[in-house]
Amino acid sequence: MAAPDAASVPTLSSLGLTPHRPLVLVDVDEVLGLFMQGFGAYLAAQGLEFRVDRFALFQNIYRPGAAEHLEMAEGKKLFDAFFAGHCDTIEPAPGAIAALNRLARSAEILILSNAPPQAERLRTAWLRKHGLEHPLILNSGPKGPIAAALVGQTAHRTAFVDDLLPNLDSVAEHAPATATFQHVADLRLQPLAPRSDRHPRIDDWAELVEAIERAVRA
C-alpha cells in the first residue's frame, strides 16, 4: 500500500485529540472485541458452521457436515453482510474496556480498524455502547502508512496494538519509533496465531495495559 496522501489523513486535532500526550492506536477485532465469536454466531444463524481450527477466516466457514470450506467469494459476502448489519453485536474482549479507560487517563486513544466502509456507523455505535468515546478510523490494507501519518503529528511516545503480524510489521516499518504489541483475544485462536520476536505478544489486557503504559511513559 502506498503512503496515504497527507491531505487524506485527518489531523489529531480534527479527531478531538491533542498532540501533547502519548498516542495509542488500537485495533478492534480480536483486540477490543471478540470478532470470531460474534461472526460465528451470525454464521450459525445462517445455518452454517464456523470451525476455528486454523488462524484464518473464510477457510473456517462450512456447511453443516461438509468436509470443504465455503468458496472464498461466498465467505466474503457473509463477511460484508456481517459488518453491514451485525458488527455491533460482538462482545468486548475480556479486560479491554477497563484497560482503555485506564490508558485514557494519561494518553490519547485512537481506534484504527480494518473494516468495510459500511461498518462505520455500527462500529462507532458499538464503541459508544461500551463507553468508549475515542475516535474511529476505518482503514484497508496494511496499517503502517496511516499509522505513520498519525503518530508523526505528535512528539510524544506512541504505541500500536493489533492481532495480525502483517499490520504490526507494517507499522514497525513505517513508524519504527512506535512500540508494537500483539494481542489475540479469542481463546481458540491464541494457540493458532503466529508470533514474532519483533512484537511482544500479550493476550491478557491486565498485563498489556501495563506494558503499553511503560512504553509511552515520558
Is residue 29 domain-resident? yes
Question: Does residue 183 share a domain with residue 127?
Answer: yes
The number of distinct structural domains making up the chain is 2
* Domain match, 109 and 136 both: yes
Which tens digit of pLDDT belongs to each residue from 25-68? Answer: 999 999 999 999 999 999 999 999 999 999 999 999 999 999 99
| pTM assigned to the model | 0.95
Residue 211, domain member (yes or no): yes
Query: Is 20's pLDDT higher than 70?
Result: yes
Domain span at residue 119? 9-34+92-216
CATH code for the domain in which residue 30 is found: 3.40.50.1000
> Mean pLDDT, the chain, as a whole number?
95
In contact, 29 and 163? CB cutoff 8 Å: yes
User: How do residues 169-199 score in pLDDT, each as one tens digit?
Assistant: 999 999 999 999 999 999 999 999 999 999 9
Pairing relation of β-strands 23-26 and 61-62?
unpaired
- Asked whether residue 3 is assigned to any structural domain, the reply reads no
Query: Any alpha helices (H) in 86-164, and if so which ranges?
Result: 96-103, 120-129, 144-151
96-107 per-position pLDDT tens digit: 999 999 999 999
Same domain, 81 and 98: no
Q: Please name which of 145, 83, 146, 78 lies closest in space to residue 120, comparing C-alpha atoms.
A: 83
In a domain, 192, yes or no: yes
Identify whether residues 27 and 112 lie together within a single domain. Answer: yes
3-class state of residue 182 by DSSP: strand
Judge contact between 126 and 88, C-beta under 8 A: yes
